[in-house]
Each structure stands twice: as structure tokens, then as C-alpha cells.
Amino acid sequence: MAETFACSFEATEQSARSCILAVMEGLRDIDLPADRAGDVQIALTEAVNNVVEHAYADTSNGEIRIQCDLSSDLLKIRIIDTGPPLPKGELPAGQPADISGPLETLPEGGFGWYLIRQLTCKLHYERQAGSNLLSLFFEMPSKPVS
């Protein structure tokens, strides 16, 4: 049986940090396997920070909602915001950054979508009724039968 919970918060860096910690606590409470928690937290943090930094860059107020559904083999996290749609209505490709040059020439950002794609088993984005809906999917390891 799937376990679910949701939360919403103001789209600020401080509120995002607090909500991500609350989401991770909630996921642990509904039996998120410890060996998946780190990957989930990294991907969730990257995705939420993108919403705060880009979807609400031109406004001082906005809300982000997070919905989590954990079943025995899959975790689905949906992030919902009312910022502008993604360019071309598509998720960024998330190519690995070229890190072959000198340290001082490396980009400050651009690693997030690559990380998100590496840590999830599936991503889905859609624009619906003025909202962005981003779903992150994580495979859950099978629990050994005792």
C-alpha cells in the first residue's frame, strides 16, 4: 500500500531548506530506505532550488507544493509551482559539464539537471492549468523477505 503526504511553502531559499528537511523526515517516517535517502535529498534539493531561483526569480512571492507517494518499489515526488513554464515546455537536457579546464573557468551552475537525471529513474514535466508539475521517480530496493 502506498504512503502519501504533502507540504507547501513560500518560495524562498530559507523556506525551501526547511521544507526539504521536513519532506526527508516525513519520508523516513513512512519507511524510505536509508540507502536511498541521500540520492532523494540531492535530487529534491536541486529541483526545488531551480523552482525558487528560476520560476519565481521575478517575484517576491510564490508557493511551492510537494506531494510524495511511496510504494514498495517506487517513490514519486511531485513539485508544483505557478511560475512561468519551462522554455519550450521541456525539461533541460542535463548534460554533464565540461570540467577539463582550469578551476577558475568552471561554471558556477549547470550541474543540477545532470544530477537529477542521474539520481532518478524517470522524470516527467507538464504544464497544467497555469501550474508546472515536475515529477521525480525513484526506484526503491526490494526488502529482503524474512
Q: What is the pLDDT of residues 26-40, one digit of tens each?
A: 999 888 888 899 999
**And the C-alpha cell for 115?**
544530477
Average the pLDDT over 110-136 and give the result: 94
- Name the pTM for this structure: 0.88
Q: Is 41 helix (H, G, I), strand (E, B) or coil?
A: helix
* CATH classification of the domain holding 8: 3.30.565.10
Mean pLDDT of 120-128: 97
- Is the pLDDT at 1 greater than 70, yes or no? no
Q: Does 104 have pLDDT greater than 80?
A: no
> Is 146 a domain residue?
no
Q: What is the rounded (10 degree) CA torsion for 43, 4, 126, 41?
A: -10
- Residue 144 domain-assigned (yes or no): no
Give residue-wise pLDDT tens across range 29-72: 888 888 899 999 999 999 999 999 989 988 878 999 999 999 98
Domain count across the chain: 1
- Tell whether 115 is covered by a domain: yes
Say if residues 27 and 75 touch (Cβ distance below 8 Å): yes
